Amino acid sequence: MATMNFGGVDENVVTRAEFPLEKAREVLKNDVIAVIGYGVQGPGQSLNLRDNGFNVIVGQRKDSKSWDKAVEDGWVPGETLFDIEEACSKATIIEYLLSDAGQIAVWPTIKKHLTPGKALYFSHGFGITYNDRTGIVPPADVDVILVAPKGSGTSLRRLFVEGRGLNSSYAIHQDATGKAYDRVIALGIGVGSGYLFETTFKKEVYSDLTGERGTLMGAIQGIFAAQYQVLRENGHTPSEAFNETVEELSQSLMPLISENGMDWMYANCSTTAQRGALDWWKKFRDATLPVFNELYESVKTGNEAQISIDSNSQPDYRAKLNAELKEMRESELWQTGETVRKLRPERN
């Protein structure tokens, strides 16, 4: 572990240089890693572990689309692909990667296979942090650890295939064996992390829920929708409104920010754009700060968790979700986006 300075604040991080893949393999050479769930994070993490040379199996409900996808990805029924209970019985490390609602439902099955010395691994702090609502309370004689890639499982896999990595946080909730640190870092390296930074289960879920509802998904969609509406109401065409709202940001400016930061992106735009951005960014900060404070408080009190648990447990949840997504997909904004994406030049 190294201490690095981030904006004047020291943090504990682990890089591949100090904890190489060979060391990770040595730490876990006698372990069987069962990845439970093959939805959002399961495919990326399990495939990366497999390609990195770890002993990994997948546990998934039979006769499901996810089971079929696992077979398509090369997992072999009866050899590396099992139903959830059998996979748990074979594992020394259980990666619990079902959805939050799925984790609540399957917990009784998982818990009975948590024999002394095993490790229970999460990629989200939800189940443990809100255990008064989820009922997920592991026995005291197992390690409870977390590696949370900062992106989707699809991105984790894509960057791995490209020879890169997706940064991840790590946390230790319970160290029953004295090996929890080596286990969690080895798993973090194994799933393809760029570097790992230290957190807690509570901080992970607080930041994650805030980010998803905020700048990563909720806020960005809201800002897109508002600017697009203003441009359209003032006579701009759908193509012009979309390009000025979404396309230029995602295709041109975000890569510049990723490369060298916001100030560098500003410095590489026109002086007119610079002046306007510098004049207006604090107004947007001040306008949205109360909303973010409200959001964080809702996360902190457990209100957001309860909303998620209640809605996901409804029998018609999937139908309602699909209806909401359909409404977004069929909006003029994202119908225009579909057309714009088709018009992008193909890469040579």
E strand or H helix at 39: none
| DSSP of 42-58 | HHHHHHHHHHTT--EEE
Please name the residue that has the structure tokens 């959830």.
84
Query: Residue 78 CB: number of other CB atoms within 10 A?
Result: 7
E strand or H helix at 141: none
| Cβ atoms of residues 53 and 29 within 8 Å | no
Give the separation between CA 111 and CA 146, rounded to whole angstroms.
Answer: 17
113: annotated active-site residue:
no
Q: What is the DSSP-derived secondary structure letter of residue 146?
A: E
Pairing assessment for the beta strands 93-96 and 119-122 based on DSSP bridges: parallel
Q: Which strands sit side by side in the sheet containing 143-149, from one edge to the other? A: 2-6, 9-15, 193-198, 166-174, 143-149, 119-122, 93-96, 33-36, 56-59, 81-82
Of the residues 113, 124, 173, 236, only one is catalytic, namely 124
Give the separation between CA 168 and CA 291, rounded to whole angstroms.
Answer: 27
Name, in order, each residue with C-beta under 8 angstroms of 110's C-beta and a sequence gap of 6 or more: 36, 84, 88, 94, 96, 120
CA dihedral 305, 310, 313, 315 (to 10 degrees): -150
- The residues that are catalytic are 124
